Amino acid sequence: MSIVMALKYYFDLMSQPCRAVYMLLHLNKVPFEPVSIAIRKGEHKTPDYLKINPFGLCPAIEHNGFCLTESIAMSKYIIREFDLADHWFPQDLKKQAKVEEYLHWQHFNTRFAAASLFRTLLIFPVATGVKPDPNEVEKLKKGVEKMVSKIESYYLKDTPYLSSNQISLADLFGACELMQLFAAHQEDLFEKSPRVNEWMQRIKEETNPHFDDAHKFTYNARQRYPEIMKKFQ
């Protein structure tokens, strides 16, 4: 008889994709062994972890000797392997394609725009002690506004969730990316869009308490942000 081992999930909740997969696991009560990887301490570059993820990135999963290193791929695997509700990643080809559409689009849009502004306002100043360039900040804000307008006018045009009438993987990944703006006190960039703001509130309400649990480091970063900015006044 073969022994079925628990799924191991390697993650750091400072990472947006890590938070999305973390929420998926908890929302669906998937049994897993959590393995915290502190990126800030370099634990993602240790020899043992590199055996799991040779790229030295988070998240990663290991399940009965099977490893995956990309968050969206592991999410799809978890959905099928543990027979999760169809709405997370539908079997219907057209519904599935709409979820895929957002998941592919977000890499160079939601993720790129929000993360770039977050890094410029918070990560780089902490690491270098150099005040953010106001011109660069304004440029990145315009990029975020353009991204948010596309979410509003296309992905949320006719549905309460991203291209769907039910919550899906797209919503978990999208919400986690926009929370980077919240951490840097830039949530007004999406709150001024009624559809996007309502969608964000809907996702929080529908996924809590796991949403708040997954974003505890994000909330902490938000609390620290004003103190960090005082150094540059």
Write the pLDDT tens digit of every residue in 108-130: 999 999 999 999 999 999 888 89
Q: Which CATH architecture has domain 7-84?
A: 3-Layer(aba) Sandwich (3.40)
In the chain, CATH 3.40.30.10 sits at: 7-84
pLDDT at 2: 41
pLDDT at 19: 98
Q: What is the mean pLDDT of residues 1-15?
A: 81
Q: Which CATH architecture has domain 93-230?
A: Up-down Bundle (1.20)
pLDDT tens-digit map of 207-225: 999 999 999 999 999 999 9
pLDDT at 126: 87
Q: What is the mean pLDDT of residues 36-64?
A: 96
Mean pLDDT, the chain, integer: 95
- Is-contact 162 102, C-beta < 8 A? yes
pLDDT at 232: 76
pLDDT tens-digit map of 168-185: 999 999 999 999 999 999
CA quadruple 20, 21, 27, 33: dihedral positive or negative?
A: negative
Q: Which helix (H) or strand (E) covers residue 32, if one does?
A: strand 32-36
Burial class for 96, CB neighbours closer than 10 Å (0-12, 13-18, 19+): middle
Q: Residue 77: pLDDT above 90?
A: yes
pLDDT at 4: 56
In the chain, CATH 1.20.1050.10 sits at: 93-230
